[in-house]
Structure 1
Amino acid sequence: MTVARWHDWEGQGLEHCVCLENGDGLSLEGVVAGTRHGTYGGHYFVRTDAAFRTREVRLEYVDGPSLHVEADEHGNWRDIIGNRSLPTLDGCFDVDIGITPATNTLPIKRLNLRDEERREIAVAYVPLPDQVAGDFLPQRAEQRYTCITRGHRYRYEGLFRGFTADLVIDDFGLVLDYPDTFRRVL
């Protein structure tokens, strides 16, 4: 078990995340008192399989919307609350929850990139509260990960929004610093 805490870059807000990894996969569970794009509270849970493919995601915003989705080993997603398939997410093996840097760990572990190797992926992006329009469901988003120094530094590119950040990670694969966004405090 690994415990991590982050606050936003300016030292506001707080997140507490517990990460468990065993032979069956990885789970991330956290609570966030966030300040990016307004103030909000949220609780998330993510579970992967042994290959670090996302299999379940739950997120509840305090006094706001909730989501619960699952994916199979082929990247086929289902909205559990609405009891419907989500074909726009077909082929997404990772989730990116906008309120936390913890989910960057998932593609870093799953892709297992070598130095200077890069890979473009599609992820199920879970929006921040102020980005929710209509149904609260993940949206398909294109991203790129580049290994700068294996096990220590990765470049994240949110191709869907033109954003780039060099991420420093710990031995578990969790983000230490996410420039201009999150800073690790534990």
Structure 2
Amino acid sequence: MNGHHLARTWEILPGGGYSTAWAGLTDRSLTARGRAVGLEPEPYWVTYALDTGDAYVTTALRVTVETGAGRRTLDLRHDAGRWSVDGEHRPDLDGALDCDLGLCPLTNTMPVLRHGLHRSPAGGGHTFLMAWVSVPGLEVTASRQSYTPLGPAGRGARIRYESGDFRSDVEFDGDGLVLDYPGLARALPQGPAGG
């Protein structure tokens, strides 16, 4: 499998902070580690590690959040269609293929890559069940999300993201990473990927 390493930093608009991801990307899988800092609803630091298997399906997400109240951790696992949160089976998440870490643009990448949405002409959408993780609280809930390709835009493609009453037309680059997520995040000019 051919692969490459990417580094991306986003300004996180609602959290008043920044998020950086270092990702290893192949034509079938994604691994990443990242760090973020935010100021709202309280100052916090986040570190995470993400692993996917074949077809960019999440296998593990490990997250640590630090706030003034202390440190919390989350161990989210997915194996053969079953999800567990800190070792406890969560049947409400079964059927989901992806995690979605709040205020983390990287986790919008997996469904986009799996379905080639960043290379699709405008057309029909896809609806997914996600294991959504709140930040900084680390609560995990089942979330239905829709992604609809709107066609080429700028250096990549625009895809409409919808969940509940929320809707945003998100610009992705040729690697399937978020460039501009109106109201949520904006990619900063990127430097070398580093180790």
TM-score when normalising by structure 2: 0.83
Unpaired segments ≥5 residues, structure 2: 191-195
Query: Per residue, is there more strand in 1 or in 2?
Result: 2
Residue 171 in structure 1 maps to residue 174 in structure 2: yes
Report the Cα distance in structure 1 between the residues aligned to 2:8 and 2:160, rounded to whole angstroms.
20
User: Which aligned pairs between 1:59-70 and structure 2 lie closer than 5 A?
Assistant: 59-62=63-66, 63-70=70-77
Corresponding residue for 1:109?
A: 113
Change (3 A) 1:158 1:37: farther
TM-score with structure 1 setting the length: 0.86
Residue aligned with 1:43, SS? strand
How far apart are the structure 1 equivalents of 2:40 and 2:181?
A: 13
Secondary structure at the counterpart of residue 64 of structure 1? strand
Shift of 1:14: 1.6
Comparing 138-147 with 62-71, greater Cα deviation is found at 62-71
1:143 aligned partner: 145
Distance 1:105 1:5 in 2: 14
Question: For residue 7 of structure 2, what is the amino acid of its counterpart?
Answer: V
CA distance in 2, matches of 1:58, 1:11: 20
Give me the whole-angstrom Cα distance separating, in 1, the residues matched to 2:115 and 2:47: 26
Q: Within the alignment, does 1:85 sit opposite 2:81 as a pair?
A: no
Contact 2:15 2:38 in 1 (8 A): no
Two-structure CA RMSD over aligned residues (Å): 1.9
Cα distance between partner residues in 1 of 2:90 and 2:14: 36
Change (3 A) 1:164 1:36: farther
Are the equivalent residues in 1 in contact too, given 2:14–2:40 (CA < 8 A)?
A: no
For 1:123, give the aligned amino acid. M
Q: Deviations over 1:34-71 (max 9, x none)?
A: 23433211001111112111111111101332101211
State yes or no: 1:156 paired with 2:158: no
Confirm whether residue 125 of structure 1 aligns to residue 132 of structure 2: yes
State whether residues 8 and 35 of structure 1, in contact with CA within 8 Å, keep that contact through their aligned partners in structure 2: no
Matched, 1:3 2:10: no
For the pair 1:17 / 2:24, whether they are aligned, the reply is: no
Point out where structure 1 has 5 or more consecutive residues left out of the alignment. none
> How many angstroms apart in 1 are the aligned matches of 2:166 and 2:27?
34
Runs of 4+ in 1 over 4 A off after TM superposition: none
The CA distance in 1 between the partners of 2:8 and 2:134, in whole Å, is: 22
Alignment partner of 2:104 out of 94, 100, 105: 100
Decide whether aligned partners of structure 1 residues 23 and 110 sit closer, same or farther in structure 2, where only a CA change above 3 A counts.
closer
| Alpha-carbon contact 1:34-1:99 (below 8 Å) kept | no
Identity of aligned residues (%): 30
Q: Displacement of 1:145 after TM fit?
A: 0.5
Deviation at 1:181, TM superposition (A): 1.2
